[in-house]
Structure 1
Amino acid sequence: MAEQAVSDDTDTDDTNTAHKATSAAGSSGVSGSSMQPGVWSTVWATLIGGLAVLFGTTIISVAIKPLAVALNAPVSTIQWVSTAYLLMLGVTIPLDGWAQRRFGGKRLWITGLVIFMIASILSSLSWNAAALIVFRGLQGVGGGILMPLMLTLVMQAAHGRNIGKIMSVVSMPAILGPILGPVLGGLILDHLAWPWLFWVNVPFCVVGIILAIVALPKDGPTHNAPLDIPGFILMAAGLVGVLYGLSNASSAGGFGAANVLVPLVGGAILLVAFVWWALIRREKALVDIRLLKHWPLASASSLLFLSGFALYGAMLLLPLYFQTLRGLTPLQAGLMLIPQGLGTFASRSIAGNLTDSIGARWVTVVGFAILTLGTVPFAFADANTSYIWIGFVLFVRGIGLGAVTLPLMAVAYQGLAPKEVPDASLFSRIGQQVGGSFGAAVLVVILESAAGNITQASQASGAFQTSFWWTTGFTVFALVLSFWLPGAPATPKTEELANEEDAEL
């Protein structure tokens, strides 16, 4: 009965806070042009640390074969260097919200950077494939802490003001990682030894730790609630099952193979069980699943899942197209993707300002339309397509990616109280992570089913064209769904209300 009374009081307080927020938003007349004190120091402190995760996550994409040769192991074994990282990422991400409330955001951020740095150093010192796989798993733990927490800390500091403008800076690692990582990896493999693939993370971690100590605001635990162990087991095991199944989809048999279907279905069942458990536990659950009633978060997370198809799925196809069909080296393939990165840079600031002024809906709709225009030409590309034309198309595609990813990441937090941000970060991050894995797996199966042996150019050309048509279809589907996003920007809360919520936290 006492626990029920506490729960009822908590619900009442939340309701009163939400009511005050609504009233303040409607009557304050705050334009949202002013910036909360200390926001940019938080942005830059977390961005530097986020760059370590950027390179640690994407730089390995061009290094699987060189690592197999260097460590005298088959490619099937070395592939676990990426898989172990991905799986441990999936295990750790669900803990982020609880850990921040239990230990404080600043302390957790520094802990994540220390873990990531130690794992990077150990990875560079690996003496065989098994050691590298283990240390990459530890690196995944650090990445799982840092990836959602980066957005959480910034959104809590911003208090709903200028989210689009801030996100144009914060989103750089997520947008540019798949583009810059392969280029840097190719440069290292061409001119340095493979351990430098991991040493490159260390300076960012060191600087990130120093900046976090100096610049991040002091905070502490907001509650001492025990960890929801059954919820953690259900969610972590479910994510691992789904991600592991998707990582095996490129093997013989595709989605029909037992090592794909069994973990995929089992993981999905566990995630459904987690949703049921979280609804029962309510505020005591590992993640407050009730937040998905918040339409901006639910719609943005769904579209981030589909944007994972467009971003990560196509980022799998494009290097394969350049290396298999055009005969380029890993470094040359990475360099060919630079125009896409330049397009992303060109659009992100504009997209951020428009998201703040007109809302996320039309920015996202136009972004997906541009992304479609930048994808369709690859459905006609073959071994003789002009590199100049490909570079132009990739630039257009980059503009679309920047205009899509940024408003979706921003709108997910629209109208949320600061204490709701950690769980919202988990939903948006998991949606993008699983969407990327699912998109890559689906497109690999499509590519291999279209041509059993893509090393033969005559077959590969048609196979890639078919795969890019599917990519275009996914993008158009996301374009249609974008019309259901919120149409107007959020009205920021008053300074007094923001301070009041911080005091409650």
Structure 2
Amino acid sequence: MAEAATRERIDPALWRAAFVLVLGTFMATLDATIVSVGIRELIADFDASVTEIQWVTTAYLLAVVTAVPASGWLAGRFGGRRTWLAAVALFLLGSALCALAWSATSLIAFRVLQGLGGGLLPPTGQALLARAAGPARIGRVISVVGVVPLLSPVLGPLIGGSILGVADWPWLFYVNLPIGIVALALAPRCVPADLPPTRREPFDFVGAALLSPGIAVLVFGLGEVGARTMPIGVALGAAVLGVGMLAGFGWHGLRTDRTPLLDPRLFARPPLGAAALALVVLGASVFGTMFLLPLYLQEGRGLSAWEAGLLLAPQGIGAAAGSLVVNRLIDRLATRTLVLTGIALIAIGTAPLTNLAVLRTDALLGSALLVRGVGIAMISAPVMSAVYRRMRPPELPGASCALNMINTVGGSVGTALLAVVLQSRLAEREVLGAMGVPVAFADAFWWVLGCCVVAVLGAALLPGAAKPDSAATPAPRAR
């Protein structure tokens, strides 16, 4: 009994490893949104159009989507810690070059470099952390560090607005340098070395040519359907092509004799399939809301980026509070119970947003977002810990890659679909005049609420047991 208690205790060494690894995740996820508040400055400084500058954000996200699937292969080929350190270095190089960019084209190119490093950091860091913690401790550790990706979309506009209040736009990128340097200095001492690679599988170039480009083409097609900057037939054709490429990737992954970039068979391993459905809907809900609300607050209510960021802060506060609750309950309650409760809270917090014409007070909006934040925290950590507990150490990089990929796909595709819905509703509600804007946004939030119904289908299949399987292979402890 004493030996088991010692094995389940989270010692300072593990917390130090978690702190260092979460620095990488914080940089990568924060950079997806921090630049959004500097769009006006970039347009003026580079004398560029809005269409050109939007690629500063889009290029980063597409580079992240490209890098995530390769994280499992790189970790297996070169080792997880070595891959993570290289990703931090690549991210810092991209950040420094972005700050020194002399044109919109150069900035977009450097953002791609930055995104390739940023896309490797969360999945590689989570796999290292899962291996160091082991099945008995991973739930409590993930419940704390897993809140960082949830806070980043909220903190991005706030931090970006604060920086631009006292400095020029290059400091949106320079801010990454001290964080990354600290991570590089501490990682060799605090992050335990993972198991050496035992197999040298060739890289799956066919899978790489189908998966990430397929997602990019799908998101591009859906976005163009909403933007209507090209013929609708071309946009729909791109979306269909993206779906076809993803289907081709699944067919290739099941039939290839080599190790695929992302093994579709992993999704047949319980509870990864159910977890994927829950996380793809969570990604659509979180990133979809963070797309709709700032746009509504700035376009519909005339607020500045800083003011909009302040109104979004309660969701981050709720996520932080929810992580503390989950930390206490994750080993006591069933994963299914926690996730279903989280979905219910997200639905309760989203319901008022479907009537924005009435929801005019900041207090009511803040309360709704606070509830949503708590609910979001009750989904991601239990889902990830349930998967990591049931995976053997060699499978952890692939499982982490799958979870991060699914969450990213959910956020990207969900945001693109909501943009299409919003565009159509704005056109239909134009006859209402000024009242048409909040009504159109409220219509779009009904789709966010519908995501909660779909998420229940995945959550119902999650494990009912709170404790990890007895057959789970314990991972080495952090030293």
TM-score (norm. length: structure 2): 0.92
Say yes or no: does 1:54 pair with 2:29.
Answer: yes
Q: Check conservation: 1:105, 1:149, Cα contact below 8 A.
A: yes
Alpha-carbon distance in structure 1 between the residues aligned to 2:189 and 2:54: 39
Most deviating of 422-431 and 380-389: 380-389
Most deviating of 279-288 and 385-394: 279-288
1:251 equivalent in structure 2? 227
Q: Equivalent of 2:243, from 268, 277, 287?
A: 268
Alpha-carbon distance in structure 1 between the residues aligned to 2:249 and 2:415: 25
Say yes or no: does 1:226 pair with 2:202.
Answer: yes
1:467 equivalent in structure 2? 444
1:373 equivalent in structure 2? 348
Alpha-carbon distance in structure 2 between the residues aligned to 1:160 and 1:90: 28
Distance 1:231 1:469, change over 3 A: closer
Q: Equivalent of 1:488, from 441, 448, 465?
A: 465
Distance 1:384 1:233, change over 3 A: closer
Identity %, equivalent residues: 35
Report matched runs for 1:398-477 at 5 Å: 398-452=373-427, 457-477=434-454
Q: Check conservation: 1:383, 1:461, Cα contact below 8 A.
A: no
Report matched runs for 1:171-320 at 5 Å: 171-219=146-194, 220-252=196-228, 257-281=232-256, 284-320=259-295
Please list the CA deviations of residues 347-385 of structure 1 after superposition, one character each: whole Å capped at 9, or x if unmatched: 112123322222210111111111111111111222771
Report matched runs for 1:123-138 at 5 Å: 123-138=98-113
Specify the code of the residue in structure 2 equivalent to 1:469: W
Specify the code of the residue in structure 1 equivalent to 2:227: S
Specify the code of the residue in structure 2 equivalent to 1:221: P
Q: State the 1:236 CA deviation.
A: 3.0
Q: Equivalent of 2:310, from 335, 338, 352?
A: 335
Q: Check conservation: 1:113, 1:146, Cα contact below 8 A.
A: yes
Q: State the 1:281 CA deviation.
A: 2.7
Most deviating of 154-163 and 299-308: 154-163
Q: State the 1:37 CA deviation.
A: 8.5
Alpha-carbon distance in structure 2 between the residues aligned to 1:416 and 1:297: 10
Say yes or no: does 1:478 pair with 2:455.
Answer: yes
Most deviating of 63-72 and 280-289: 280-289
SS at the partner of 2:474? helix
Structure 1: which 5+ residue stretches go unaligned? 1-27
SS at the partner of 1:460? helix
Please list the CA deviations of residues 125-154 of structure 1 after superposition, one character each: whole Å capped at 9, or x if unmatched: 111100000000101110121121111111
Alpha-carbon distance in structure 2 between the residues aligned to 1:245 and 1:32: 50
SS at the partner of 2:236? helix
Q: Check conservation: 2:134, 2:476, Cα contact below 8 A.
A: no
Specify the code of the residue in structure 1 equivalent to 2:215: L
Q: Check conservation: 2:359, 2:365, Cα contact below 8 A.
A: no
Report matched runs for 1:352-391 at 5 Å: 352-382=327-357, 385-391=360-366
Equivalent residues, number: 473
Q: State the 1:484 CA deviation.
A: 2.0
Q: Equivalent of 2:46, from 54, 58, 71?
A: 71
Alpha-carbon distance in structure 2 between the residues aligned to 1:283 and 1:299: 26
Q: Check conservation: 1:304, 1:405, Cα contact below 8 A.
A: yes
Alpha-carbon distance in structure 2 between the residues aligned to 1:234 and 1:384: 44
Q: Check conservation: 1:340, 1:397, Cα contact below 8 A.
A: yes
Structure 2: which 5+ residue stretches go unaligned? none
Q: State the 1:412 CA deviation.
A: 2.6
Q: Check conservation: 2:219, 2:416, Cα contact below 8 A.
A: no
Alpha-carbon distance in structure 2 between the residues aligned to 1:161 and 1:260: 48
Q: Check conservation: 2:84, 2:124, Cα contact below 8 A.
A: yes
Specify the code of the residue in structure 1 equivalent to 2:21: T
Alpha-carbon distance in structure 2 between the residues aligned to 1:370 and 1:187: 31
Distance 1:456 1:111, change over 3 A: farther
SS at the partner of 1:40? helix
Report matched runs for 1:98-109 at 5 Å: 98-109=73-84
Q: Check conservation: 1:120, 1:202, Cα contact below 8 A.
A: yes
Q: Check conservation: 2:282, 2:410, Cα contact below 8 A.
A: yes
Please list the CA deviations of residues 281-323 of structure 1 after superposition, one character each: whole Å capped at 9, or x if unmatched: 3562223321111121111111110111210101111111211
Alpha-carbon distance in structure 1 between the residues aligned to 2:286 and 2:421: 16
SS at the partner of 1:358? coil
Most deviating of 379-388 and 200-209: 379-388
Q: Check conservation: 2:393, 2:475, Cα contact below 8 A.
A: no
Alpha-carbon distance in structure 2 between the residues aligned to 1:356 and 1:389: 33
SS at the partner of 1:451? helix
Alpha-carbon distance in structure 1 between the residues aligned to 2:317 and 2:76: 38
Q: State the 1:183 CA deviation.
A: 0.9
Alpha-carbon distance in structure 1 between the residues aligned to 2:242 and 2:359: 43
CA RMSD of aligned residues (A): 2.6
Q: Check conservation: 1:94, 1:426, Cα contact below 8 A.
A: yes
Alpha-carbon distance in structure 2 between the residues aligned to 1:377 and 1:287: 39
Alpha-carbon distance in structure 2 between the residues aligned to 1:207 and 1:459: 49
Alpha-carbon distance in structure 1 between the residues aligned to 2:241 and 2:471: 46
Alpha-carbon distance in structure 1 between the residues aligned to 2:68 and 2:105: 24
Alpha-carbon distance in structure 1 between the residues aligned to 2:359 and 2:339: 33
2:67 equivalent in structure 1? 92
Most deviating of 204-213 and 244-253: 244-253
Q: Check conservation: 2:135, 2:474, Cα contact below 8 A.
A: no
Say yes or no: does 1:168 pair with 2:143.
Answer: yes
Alpha-carbon distance in structure 2 between the residues aligned to 1:443 and 1:166: 33
Distance 1:259 1:222, change over 3 A: farther
